[in-house]
């Protein structure tokens, strides 16, 4: 039995996924580097950190706790109008989770880099019987374009 780092299966799969979005450049380096690959889309450049997980995560908070150091390193990459930072995690059974690391938050995205903002649900106020309940305030369902 051979000891040492497992093969770069996650990085190879990530390069295929990234190739669907644009031109890809793998960045040889060490585990402590801020990113492993760069995706050159038509209107932006994305720096991607790829990690392989030994456990299945389902909550963003679990990812943030487990990979805090890696996300902080990625967050140090300059963010401009034409750049983005993404954190990708490959789970043991081969499924992936993708995250956009913005200047003030981390959100889960799809493999193609798109996301659906969480729907804002109106809060129904308790009105006296006989009167209609109405949402408290207006709900903005417009999508964010900030990346």
Here the CATH number for the domain that contains residue 33 is 3.40.1350.10
What is the pLDDT averaged over residues 73-92? Answer: 93
Residue 135 lies in a domain: no
pLDDT of 61 higher than 50: yes
pLDDT-based confidence at residue 71 (cuts at 50, 70, 90): very high
pLDDT of 138 higher than 60: no
Residue 117 lies in a domain: no
Residue 128 lies in a domain: no
pLDDT of 25 higher than 60: yes
Residue 146 lies in a domain: no
Q: Provide the token pair at 64.
A: 């943030």
Long-range contacts of 100-107 (CB under 8 A, 24+ apart): 100/147, 101/71, 101/74, 101/75, 102/146, 102/147, 103/79, 106/60, 106/63, 106/64, 106/71, 107/60
pLDDT-based confidence at residue 2 (cuts at 50, 70, 90): very low
Domain residue limits at 70: 9-109
Residue 52 lies in a domain: yes
pLDDT-based confidence at residue 119 (cuts at 50, 70, 90): low
Structural contact between residues 113 and 83, judged by C-beta atoms closer than 8 angstroms? no
Domain count, the chain: 1
Average pLDDT, the chain: 80
What is the pLDDT averaged over residues 129-147? Answer: 44
Most confident range, picked from 15-19, 53-57, 88-92, 126-130: 15-19
Residue 30 lies in a domain: yes
Residue 47 lies in a domain: yes
pLDDT-based confidence at residue 6 (cuts at 50, 70, 90): low
pLDDT for res 44: 94
Residue 53 lies in a domain: yes
Structural contact between residues 147 and 44, judged by C-beta atoms closer than 8 angstroms? yes
């Amino acid at each position: 039995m051979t000891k040492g780092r497992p093969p770069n299966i996650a990085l190879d799969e990530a390069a295929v996924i990234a190739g669907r979005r644009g031109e890809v450049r793998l960045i040889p380096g060490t585990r402590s580097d801020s990113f492993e690959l760069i995706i050159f889309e038509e209107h932006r450049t994305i720096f991607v950190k790829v990690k392989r997980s030994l456990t299945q995560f389902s909550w963003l908070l679990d990812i943030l706790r487990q990979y805090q150091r890696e996300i902080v390193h990625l967050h140090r990459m300059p963010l401009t109008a034409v750049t983005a930072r993404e954190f990708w995690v490959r789970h043991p059974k081969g499924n992936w989770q993708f995250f956009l690391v913005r200047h003030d938050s981390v959100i889960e995205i799809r493999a193609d880099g798109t996301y659906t903002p969480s729907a804002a649900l109106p809060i129904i106020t308790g009105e006296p019987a006989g009167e209609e309940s109405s949402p408290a305030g207006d709900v903005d369902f417009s999508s964010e374009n900030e990346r």
